Amino acid sequence: MALEDYKADMERCSQCSYCKWIPLDQVKSWRFAKGCPSIAYSNFLSYSARGRFAVALSLLNKQSTYTDRVVDVIYKCTTCGSCDVSDKICRYNLEPLEMIQELKIRAVEDGQVLPQHTAVIEHLKKENNMMMAPAAERGDWAKGLDVKNITEKSTEVVFHAGCRFSYDKDLQEKTRTAVTLLKNAGVDIGIMGKEESCCGGRAYDMGYKDDFVKAAEKTTTAWKAAGVKTVVTSCADCFHAFSRLYPPLGENFEVLHTVQYLDRLIKEGKIKFSKTVPMRITYHDPCHLGRRGEPYVPWDGKEKKIMNQIVVYEPTKPRYNGAWGVYDPPRDILKSIPGVELVEMERIKEYAWCCGSGGGSREAYPDFSNWTATERIEEAKATGAEALVSACGWCERNFLDAISTAGEKMQVLDITDLVKQAI
């Protein structure tokens, strides 16, 4: 849909400001009541969903034009979807996150881009990754790992490492662990090594829709050639791209995040724990696995009115409001590990605070991104946990950096780290 298609939403926005907070029912304290990192950091109303509706309408109505401030408003958003969840507490006919995404796409189409983003996108075009690293080194994480490459031998299950987990030297071991755990549990799994390319999801969240589509086509062409039916990934951003952004392009693979697969294997008795991991931990829901990780439901319909003026859709439109995200599998895994004590933060599941890495914020606004991560570290510390555990390389990298900047001592772990320790 085009930005103009959201004009009705812009005029129907209630201007109630729920988008700034976590759902009000879930507020447990002054300290951790905020939901939207963008307005929490920048403060002006424009940096909330209601503000972005207004800014977009102002631009569409030609009441204003692009300025540095407008560009800042458009891009300084992690597209975490917190506003979307909170707005939909009271509304069934508004799509703030979709509109914010379209606003970014429009800005890119209009040439209103950030140099930090264009550098990354130019690199993506040449080297197929978002890490400013050579394509040739993408498969290095798997050196010495006994796993087949699907470009050489067809397989139905492919493990997609993703850009962050492929290149980030602090995280590569976690990638190896994920593959090893799956393989040892009997999963016939392959990788693409240096032939793997970016999912395109982060480019989409920055507003680069065309580059996303090209990345998606490249990836799915390779999968199809190798006979892939199921895709497994440890990266929440990739998971979201494959499960939510690819199906509208006509691509339908079974998509599982590693935590979903591991949870299944644990419950089937194919992974058994023999060691105790005495550790008090807390779990961070990655946005793209949690509230944005809801299953895609095809819909092709239109708005209609009932009872004179009630706005509904025909046929019934799927409702993405965070209710169906991937929340239980990671928690079930953590609870099943002997010795692990899971203590929850105040903001969890559909109303979890973002890590600050998404939407191009890490690339273009390092201070904002780091501040957002630091807020989460503070929340994790308040639980008394020794470690902040997550299921996304981008979240983990942002937390590691924030901890390093702040001189904190909290450990940052991937769920696979704990599973490995317990076997």
Partner 1 sequence: MTLSKDVYQSFEDIVGSNNISDDPALLDSYRYHLAHTAIHLGPYYRVYTPRGAAVLLPGSVEEVQAIVRLCNKHKLRVKPSSTFWSAWGYPLEDNTIQLDMRRMDRILEIDEKNMYAVVEPHVIGAILQAEAMKVGLNTHIHGPGSSCSCLASATALAGFGPDSMYMGQHSENLLGAEWVMPDGEILRVGAAGSGLDWYTCDGPGPSLKGLVRGGQGTFGGLGVFTKCALKLYPWPGPANFPVEGKPPAYKVKLPDNIRGYTLAFSTWKGWADCCYMIWEAGIGYVAHRQYSMFGRDLKGAMVKILSDHTKTLSDIEEMLKDPEIQEFTKEMHRDFQIVVAGMTPRDIEWQDKVLDKILEATGGWKVKGMLESDLYNWSLLYMLRLGHKNLNLVYAGGYDGCFGIGGTPDFGTSAPNEGEPERVEQATEFKKEWEKKGNIVAAGGDGMMGGIGGFGGGGHAMWENFTHFDPHDKESTEGTLEFFGATSEFGKQKGWGPGMEKMNDYARWTDGRTTPKEIREKLLSGGGVAFRYQRKFKEAFDPNSLGDGYYRTLD
Which residues would be at the binding site for partner 1 (CB under 8 A)?
Answer: 7-8, 11-18, 21, 23-30, 33, 43-46, 50-52, 54-55, 57-59, 63-65, 67, 69-70, 73, 85, 88-94, 305-314, 316-317, 319, 321-323, 350-351
Residue 34 or residue 420: which is nearer to partner 1 going by CB? 34
Q: Rounded to the nearest whole angstrom, what is the least distance from the CB of residue 258 to partner 1 in the complex?
A: 24
Residue 68 or residue 146: which is nearer to partner 1 going by CB? 68
DSSP line for 157-223: EEEE--HHHHH-TTTHHHHHHHHHHHHHTT--EEE-GGG----SHHHHHHT-HHHHHHHHHHHHHHH
* Residue 56: both structure tokens together: 């977009």
Q: Rounded to the nearest whole angstrom, what is the least distance from the CB of residue 119 to partner 1 in the complex?
A: 26
Containing 412, the helix (H) or strand (E) segment is strand 411-414
Residue 27 or residue 406: which is nearer to partner 1 going by CB? 27
Residue 43 or residue 404: which is nearer to partner 1 going by CB? 43
Q: Which residue has the tokens 């008795």?
A: 269
Residue 203 or residue 342: which is nearer to partner 1 going by CB? 342
Residue 12 or residue 224: which is nearer to partner 1 going by CB? 12
CB 154 within 8 A of CB 227: yes
**Long-range own/partner contacts, residues 38-45 (CB < 8 A, 24 or more apart):** 38/76, 38/77, 38/78, 38/368, 40/375, 41/76, 41/368, 41/371, 41/372, 42/72, 42/76, 42/368, 44/73
End-to-end, the C-alpha distance of the chain in Å comes to 48
Q: Rounded to the nearest whole angstrom, what is the least distance from the CB of residue 11 to partner 1 in the complex?
A: 4
Residue 339 or residue 366: which is nearer to partner 1 going by CB? 366
Residue 353 or residue 399: which is nearer to partner 1 going by CB? 353
Q: Rounded to the nearest whole angstrom, what is the least distance from the CB of residue 18 to partner 1 in the complex?
A: 6
* Residue 140: both structure tokens together: 């290095």
Between CA 281 and CA 331 the distance in angstroms is 11
Question: In whole angstroms, how far apart are CA 361 and each of 181, 216, 372?
Answer: 32, 22, 10
Q: Rounded to the nearest whole angstrom, what is the least distance from the CB of residue 109 to partner 1 in the complex?
A: 18
Strand runs (DSSP E) across 38-117, as ranges?
none
Cα–chain-centroid distance for residue 33? 21
Query: What would you report as the CA-atom Rg of the chain, rounded to the nearest whole angstrom?
Result: 21
Question: b/e for 368-396, b at 16 or more Cβ within 10 A?
Answer: bbbbbbbbbbbbbeebebbbbbbbbbbbb
Q: Rounded to the nearest whole angstrom, what is the least distance from the CB of residue 90 to partner 1 in the complex?
A: 4
Q: Rounded to the nearest whole angstrom, what is the least distance from the CB of residue 39 to partner 1 in the complex?
A: 8
- Sign of torsion, CA 198 202 208 210? positive
Between CA 138 and CA 197 the distance in angstroms is 8
Nearest Cα neighbor of 350 from 329, 332, 323 is 323
Residue 254 or residue 344: which is nearer to partner 1 going by CB? 344
Between CA 262 and CA 416 the distance in angstroms is 9
Q: Rounded to the nearest whole angstrom, what is the least distance from the CB of residue 24 to partner 1 in the complex?
A: 3
Residue 191 or residue 364: which is nearer to partner 1 going by CB? 364
CB 271 within 8 A of CB 185: yes
Q: Rounded to the nearest whole angstrom, what is the least distance from the CB of residue 368 to partner 1 in the complex?
A: 12
Contacts of residue 227, Cβ cutoff 8 Å, sequence gap at least 6:
150, 154, 155, 156
Cα–chain-centroid distance for residue 337? 25
Nearest Cα neighbor of 82 from 377, 235, 291, 376 is 291
Q: Rounded to the nearest whole angstrom, what is the least distance from the CB of residue 110 to partner 1 in the complex?
A: 14
Residue 39 or residue 179: which is nearer to partner 1 going by CB? 39
Q: Rounded to the nearest whole angstrom, what is the least distance from the CB of residue 301 to partner 1 in the complex?
A: 10
